[in-house]
């Protein structure tokens, strides 16, 4: 769900969440489709009766009963009910991403976890059952009316992401020997220095050369390592960060597209529109309108 243009964040927060813990869960039994949209909350979807179709960017997922899909914050996605899956039921859990920063503490891990996760007995057999159990328990907690249901669900969310973090780490270990894994961990730690630096000084126009110096790499080595661990060049990453900042500013109805472009580090509207479309598959104006979906 997205914040209406005539609401401020405080009002949205009160409408979306009924406690001071930003977590919401419900059973969805509506046989209706949800067109392309986005929201600040991370969304976890699990059909419990009949299937569900979810498209995240250009990738489509045909969820069967008890499959689990995690859609990251601010990710464009659409949802539809397959013709053969009417009268279905799904558990929907939404929460605000700062929960993850509280638990994991630094950008490197959180950025890796903040990706679409398709969790089934086939895709993640080692952790599927535990995650399914945590999600089911959360659903039962939220329906119980217990005074501590929000706290309990918060605890279960952290449990889910700890399992995911360990899963990704174990996968890295299995992809090479211990020495190679130790080297990777060192590289990740040094890249985390860059991520933290950019978080601390968001207005600074950081160059590849300076970033390499901060991480104690040569520019050539830094560019190669950065692309290996993020699947994009440093320049592409900077562009994504600029778009990320723009996305937040687009939530403010008082800011024009020009204001957002200039405040995000772009020097022209044409460049801003072109880059935004490349990253988000829509224009800034279209993206802004998607933030008007009713709660």
Q: What is the pLDDT of residues 233-244, one digit of tens each?
A: 888 888 888 888
Q: Which of 107-116, 139-148, 281-290 has the lowest mean pLDDT?
A: 107-116
Q: Is the dihedral of CA 33, 90, 66, 56 positive or negative?
A: positive
Give the span between the Cα atoms of 16 and 12, in whole angstroms. Answer: 6
pLDDT value of position 71: 93
Which class is 9-174 in CATH? mainly beta
pLDDT value of position 247: 84
pLDDT value of position 165: 84
pLDDT value of position 10: 40
Q: Specify the CATH architecture of the domain 237-292.
A: Orthogonal Bundle (1.10)
pLDDT value of position 111: 60
Structural contact between residues 90 and 52, judged by C-beta atoms closer than 8 angstroms: yes
Write down the domain spans for the chain. 9-174, 178-231, 237-292
Q: What is the pLDDT of residues 28-82, one digit of tens each?
A: 998 889 888 888 789 999 999 999 999 998 789 999 999 999 998 878 889 999 9
pLDDT value of position 176: 55
Q: What is the pLDDT of residues 140-162, one digit of tens each?
A: 888 877 778 888 888 899 899 98
Using a pLDDT cut of 90, give the percent of the chain over it: 25
Element holding 168 (H helix, E strand): helix 149-174
- Residue ranges with strand state E in 65-147: 68-71, 77-80, 89-95, 117-119
User: Cα torsion for 51, 57, 59, 63, to the nearest 10°?
Assistant: -10
Q: How big is the chain by its Cα radius of gyration, in Å? A: 20
**Which of the pair, 13 or 160, is modelled with greater confidence?**
160
Instruction: Write down the pTM of the prediction.
Output: 0.65
> Long-range contacts: 255-259, Cβ < 8 Å, 24+?
257/284, 257/285, 257/288
**Which of the pair, 131 or 75, is modelled with greater confidence?**
131
pLDDT value of position 151: 84
Using a pLDDT cut of 70, give the percent of the chain over it: 81
Task: Classify residue 205 by burial, with Cβ atoms within 10 Å: 0-12, 13-18, 19+.
Answer: exposed
């Amino acid at each position: 769900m997205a914040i209406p243009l005539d609401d401020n964040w405080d009002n949205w927060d009160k409408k979306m969440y009924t406690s001071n813990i930003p977590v919401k869960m419900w059973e969805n039994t509506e046989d209706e489709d949800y067109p392309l949209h986005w929201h600040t909350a991370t969304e976890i979807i699990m059909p419990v009766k009949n299937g569900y179709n979810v498209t995240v960017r250009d990738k489509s997922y045909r969820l069967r009963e008890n499959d689990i899909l995690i859609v990251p914050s601010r990710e464009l996605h659409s949802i539809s009910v397959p013709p053969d899956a009417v009268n279905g039921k799904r558990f929907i859990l939404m929460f605000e991403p700062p929960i993850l920063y509280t638990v994991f503490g630094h950008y490197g891990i959180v950025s890796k976890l903040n990706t679409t996760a398709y969790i089934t007995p086939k895709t993640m057999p080692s952790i599927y059952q535990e995650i399914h159990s945590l999600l089911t328990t959360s659903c039962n907690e939220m329906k119980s009316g217990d005074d501590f249901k929000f706290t309990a669900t918060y605890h279960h969310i952290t449990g889910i992401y700890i399992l995911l973090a360990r899963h990704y780490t174990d996968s890295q270990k299995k992809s090479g020997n211990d020495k190679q894994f130790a080297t990777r961990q060192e590289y990740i730690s040094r890249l985390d220095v860059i991520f933290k630096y950019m978080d601390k000084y968001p207005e600074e126009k950081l160059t590849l050369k300076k970033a390499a110096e901060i991480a104690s790499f040569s520019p050539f080595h830094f560019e190669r390592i950065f692309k290996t661990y993020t699947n994009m060049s440093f320049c592409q990453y900077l562009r994504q960060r600029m778009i990320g900042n723009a996305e937040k500013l687009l939530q403010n109805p008082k800011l024009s597209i020009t204001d957002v472009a200039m405040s995000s580090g772009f020097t022209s509207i044409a460049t801003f529109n072109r880059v935004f479309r490349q990253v988000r598959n829509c224009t800034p104006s279209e993206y802004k309108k998607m933030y008007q979906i009713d709660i």
